[in-house]
């Protein structure tokens, strides 16, 4: 019987050798973040399930192509975000983010209030992906650039524009 270790690099090595328990361990370890990323981009539970599942399957099918097993998490996020963005483009409709409050804690990115949910819905998918990856999932900006496959300057620009747009949507008129 194969002994499964704690590091992604070891699990990837074992999975590349055909270990089903290693693949299952990678799935279990990374599913919550993959789902949160998909949900953050899509804003819909069912579509997030579909996108995260498709991305996980794709990653595990292609695990042999991964050269740095320690980078599995970032590699998977890149696949998840692309799958979610592709899913968004296929449907061409805005999905509600307001159902996040009805999910159990830890399942979805927290959306503190309906106004923020509306503001996030107003962001384009590329800007929303940067906000989700950086603020909800805690990826540093250079890693966000790697995940999205764009230059760091593009990530900074998208984040700056997203924050400006969020501020505009969230501004409360000051009464006299």
Instruction: Supply the pLDDT for residue 127.
Output: 92
Farthest CA pair distance, the chain: 73
Secondary structure in 3-state letters for 116-172: HHHHHHHCCHHHHHHHHHHHHCCCCHHHHHHHHCCCHHHHHHHHHHHHHHHHHHHCC
d(CA 22, CA 40): 27
Instruction: Supply the pLDDT for residue 104.
Output: 39
Domain residue limits, the chain: 8-170
Token representation of residue 35: 């789902």
Please tell me the chain's helix, strand, coil percentages from 3-state DSSP, rounded to the nearest 5: 75, 0, 25
Q: What DSSP designation does 107 have?
A: T
Token representation of residue 140: 């540093």
Closest listed residue to residue 83, CA positions, set 61, 130, 50 = 50
Nearest 5°: the CA angle 75, 5, 104 is 65
Q: Which fold has domain 8-170?
A: Butyryl-CoA Dehydrogenase, subunit A; domain 3 (1.20.140)
Instruction: Supply the pLDDT for residue 90.
Output: 65
What is the reported pTM? 0.73
Per-residue pLDDT 10s for the chain (176 aa) are 455 567 999 999 999 999 999 999 999 999 999 999 998 888 888 989 999 999 999 999 999 999 887 789 989 999 999 999 887 766 654 444 444 443 434 444 555 567 777 788 788 888 999 998 898 888 999 999 988 889 999 999 999 999 999 988 888 665 54
Instruction: Supply the pLDDT for residue 105.
Output: 41
């Amino acid at each position: 019987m194969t002994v499964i270790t704690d590091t992604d690099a070891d699990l990837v090595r074992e999975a590349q050798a055909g270990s089903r328990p290693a693949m299952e361990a990678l799935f279990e370890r990374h599913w919550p973040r993959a789902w949160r990323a998909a949900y953050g981009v899509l804003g819909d539970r069912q579509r997030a399930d579909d996108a995260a599942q498709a991305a996980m399957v794709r990653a595990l099918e292609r695990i042999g192509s991964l050269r740095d097993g320690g980078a599995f998490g970032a590699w998977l996020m890149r696949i998840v975000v692309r799958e979610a963005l592709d899913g968004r483009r296929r449907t061409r409709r805005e999905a509600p983010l307001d159902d996040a409050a009805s999910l159990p804690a830890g399942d979805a990115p927290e959306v503190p209030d309906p106004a923020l949910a509306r503001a996030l819905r107003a962001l384009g998918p590329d800007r929303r992906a940067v906000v989700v990856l950086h603020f909800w999932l805690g990826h540093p900006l250079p890693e966000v650039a790697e995940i999205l496959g764009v230059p760091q300057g593009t990530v900074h620009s998208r984040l700056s524009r997203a924050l400006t747009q969020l501020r505009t949507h969230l501004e409360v008129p000051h009464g006299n």
